[in-house]
C-alpha cells in the first residue's frame, strides 16, 4: 500500500471539507430563503444588508463556486479563504444560521487557507506539479481543532438529559427498545472522549479511526437530518488522514535528510 503523505492526507481533508461546504451551502440556502419569505429575522448587526431572495442567491452562488473550486483544488488557498469568508458572512447575517457544523466549517476552511491545501490531488498540483507541503502548523491546527470538538461535545453531553437517553430517544428516527438509550448515550460520550485523545496515539490511530467512522456512520444512519449530519461527518472524518499520516508505518519518509512524520512537515 502506498504511503499516505502529508500532502495527500491534506488533499483528502480539503476535498472532504469542500464537499461538506457544498452541503452546508445548500442548507443555508434553504434557511435563508425561509427568512427571506417572512420568517423572523434576527441579525447580529443592524447594518448588515437585509435578507432577501436576490442577496441569498448571490451568497449561494459564491458558496457553491468556492466549494467546487476547493474540491477541484483550483486556486485552493483562495477557494478555502472564500469558503471561510462566505461562512462568516452567513453566520453574522442572522442568528438562525448558527450551528456547530457551520462553525467547524469556518475553522477548517480558515486553517486550509493558511496551509497548502492544493499541494496534491488538485488542479493546482497539475499546473505546478506535485509539491510536498513543508508547512505543518495548519495541519496540526486542524487536528487540535477536531480533538477540541470531540472533547467539548462529550463534556457538554455529561448531563442528566443526555445521559438519561432523552436526546437520542427524540433524535433517532427509528424507535429502539427503551432500555437501549441510556447505554447508547453513555457509550457515545465515552467514544467521543476516547476519540479526542486516542487520535493522537500513533499506536491506536487505526483502531480509533475505525471507531470514529463507525460513530459518524451510526449518527448519519440513525438520527434525523441525515444530510446535515453527513456534512458534519465529512468535516470530522475528513481530517482523519492527517492523524493517520502521523503514524510511522503509514507515511514517514525522509525529508531534508531526516526522518519526519509525513503530516508534520
Partner 1 sequence: MWAAIRELLTRCHTPDKAFLGKPVARPVIVVIVILQLMVPGLVFLQEPPGRLGWQMYSGLGEIPKIRIETADGAVREIPFTNMAATRRPEINWGKHLPAHVCNVIPDVAAVDLIYADVDQSFACGP
Binding site for partner 1 (CB under 8 A): 31-32, 34-35, 38-40, 42, 94-101, 103, 114-116, 134-138, 140-141, 143-145, 147-149, 151-153, 155-157, 159, 161-162, 166-167, 171, 196-197, 200-201, 264-265
Q: Which is nearer to partner 1, 62 or 162 (CB)?
A: 162
Q: How far apart are CA 59 and CA 222, in angstroms?
A: 32
Q: How far is the CB of 141 from partner 1 (least distance, A)?
A: 6
Q: How far is the CB of 75 from partner 1 (least distance, A)?
A: 14
Q: How far apart are CA 48 and CA 93, in angstroms?
A: 7
Q: How far apart are CA 63 and CA 25, in angstroms?
A: 6
Q: Measured on CA atoms in the order 257, 122, 239, 2, is the torsion positive or negative?
A: negative
Q: How far apart are CA 116 and CA 104, in angstroms?
A: 19
Q: Which is nearer to partner 1, 2 or 116 (CB)?
A: 116
Backbone angles phi, psi at 64, to 5 degrees: -65, -45
Q: Which is nearer to partner 1, 156 or 221 (CB)?
A: 156
Q: How far is the CB of 64 from partner 1 (least distance, A)?
A: 20
The answer to whether 92 and 44 are in contact (CB under 8 A) is yes
Q: How far is the CB of 111 from partner 1 (least distance, A)?
A: 9
Q: Which is nearer to partner 1, 136 or 213 (CB)?
A: 136
Q: Which residue has the cell 448515550?
A: 185
Q: How far is the CB of 227 from partner 1 (least distance, A)?
A: 15
Q: Which is nearer to partner 1, 2 or 170 (CB)?
A: 170
According to DSSP, the residues that pair with 65 across neighbouring strands are none
Q: How many CB atoms lie within 10 A of CB 247?
A: 20
* DSSP states of 192-240: HHHHHHHTT-TTTHHHHHHHHHHHHHHHHHHBS-HHHHHHHHHHHHTTH
Q: How far apart are CA 143 and CA 137, in angstroms?
A: 10
Q: Which is nearer to partner 1, 68 or 136 (CB)?
A: 136
Q: How far is the CB of 144 from partner 1 (least distance, A)?
A: 5
The answer to whether 176 and 193 are in contact (CB under 8 A) is no
Q: Which is nearer to partner 1, 4 or 101 (CB)?
A: 101
Q: How far is the CB of 66 from partner 1 (least distance, A)?
A: 18
Amino acid at each position: 500500500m502506498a504511503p499516505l503523505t502529508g500532502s495527500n492526507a491534506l488533499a483528502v481533508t480539503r476535498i472532504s471539507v469542500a464537499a461538506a461546504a457544498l452541503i452546508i451551502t445548500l442548507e443555508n440556502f434553504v434557511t435563508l430563503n425561509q427568512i427571506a419569505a417572512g420568517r423572523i429575522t434576527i441579525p447580529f448587526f443592524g447594518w448588515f444588508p437585509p435578507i432577501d431572495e436576490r442577496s441569498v442567491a448571490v451568497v449561494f452562488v459564491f458558496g457553491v463556486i468556492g466549494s467546487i473550486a476547493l474540491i477541484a483544488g483550483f486556486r485552493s488557498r483562495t477557494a478555502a479563504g472564500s469558503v471561510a469568508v462566505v461562512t462568516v458572512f452567513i453566520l453574522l447575517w442572522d442568528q438562525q444560521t448558527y450551528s456547530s457544523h457551520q462553525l467547524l466549517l469556518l475553522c477548517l476552511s480558515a486553517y486550509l487557507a493558511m496551509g497548502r491545501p492544493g499541494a496534491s490531488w488538485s488542479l493546482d498540483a497539475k499546473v505546478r506539479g506535485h509539491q510536498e507541503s513543508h508547512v505543518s502548523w495548519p495541519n496540526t491546527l486542524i487536528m487540535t481543532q477536531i480533538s477540541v470538538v470531540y472533547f467539548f461535545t462529550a463534556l457538554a453531553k455529561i448531563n442528566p438529559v443526555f445521559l438519561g437517553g432523552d436526546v437520542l430517544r427524540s433524535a433517532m428516527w427509528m424507535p429502539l427498545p427503551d432500555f437501549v438509550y441510556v447505554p447508547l448515550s453513555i457509550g457515545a460520550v465515552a467514544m467521543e472522549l476516547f476519540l479526542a485523545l486516542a487520535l493522537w496515539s500513533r499506536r491506536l490511530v487505526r483502531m480509533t479511526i475505525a471507531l470514529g467512522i463507525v460513530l459518524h456512520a451510526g449518527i448519519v444512519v440513525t438520527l434525523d437530518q441525515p444530510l446535515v449530519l453527513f456534512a458534519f461527518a465529512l468535516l470530522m472524518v475528513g481530517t482523519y488522514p492527517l492523524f493517520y499520516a502521523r503514524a510511522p508505518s503509514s507515511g514517514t519518509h525522509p525529508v531534508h535528510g531526516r526522518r519526519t512524520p509525513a503530516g508534520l512537515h
